[in-house]
Amino acid sequence: MEALKRQAAARALEQVEGGMKLGLGTGSTARHFVDLLGEKVRGGMNVIGVPTSEATRAQAEQCGIPLTSLDEVDRLDLTVDGADEVDPALDLIKGGGGALLREKIVAAASDRMIVIADETKWVDALGRYPLPVEVVPFGLGATRRAMETAFAAAGVSGQMVLRKGKDGHVFVTDGGHWIVDGHLGRIADAPRLAGLLNAIPGVVETGLFVGLASTVILAGASGIRVVERR
């Protein structure tokens, strides 16, 4: 599986040119891309990156990739990131690693977003993977009740689980928020659900990335498949 992820990352790297401003994704597949980009930078390629998490920042610094922030640059040429699920419309579920808010901010500030993944992430409909929803800790009960109402209005239902870290304590994002994972099974209308959830005051952001990915690179046993947004 790691070999497949690295193949997808290598194909995405072919889209990177000197002088580009890049969004650097978070997660196991994006980590391969940052590694390979670091090799290019050490070989003389001139790029600058905006990391989507503190973990990616630390990795990029270790790889010698120059970094900046969205306070210092207006737009990014390209973001390369992974996904937990991808559907045929190239809508995504992201946030399994807990970095969904920064990942979405960076993707939205980019001219293009390339998603790299192994073929197991391709699904007919989103929702088999639990949907991460980043929330403010204050008023969590009210937020969860509002989320239940939003789920019902979008025609989905399922258990909501407050994410815990490996230490058993509540998982805290880089932004100081919590994550509620919705086990929904199948999401028939991702754009509608995203809109309903984002209207809830206690919701910071959802892991539904709608209309952001321009290209998906899937690596499988039979090779690389590239899917472009229609």
Which residues are known to be catalytic? 103
Encoded tokens for 229:
């947004």
What distance in Å separates the CA atoms of residue 230 and residue 228, rounded to the nearest whole number?
6
Q: Pairing between strand 159-162 and 178-183?
A: antiparallel
Q: Select from 7, 18, 70, 71 the least CA-distant residue to 40.
A: 18
Phi-psi group of 95: left, alpha or beta (phi > 0 → left; psi -120 to 50 → alpha; rest → beta): left
- End-to-end CA separation in angstroms for the chain: 28
Contact 62, 146 (CB under 8 A): no
CA 178 to chain CA mean position, Å: 16
Question: 69 in the Ramachandran plot: left (φ > 0), alpha (ψ -120 to 50) or beta?
Answer: beta
Calpha distance 163→195 (Å, rounded)? 22
Vertex 193 angle, CA 186 and 24, to 5°: 90
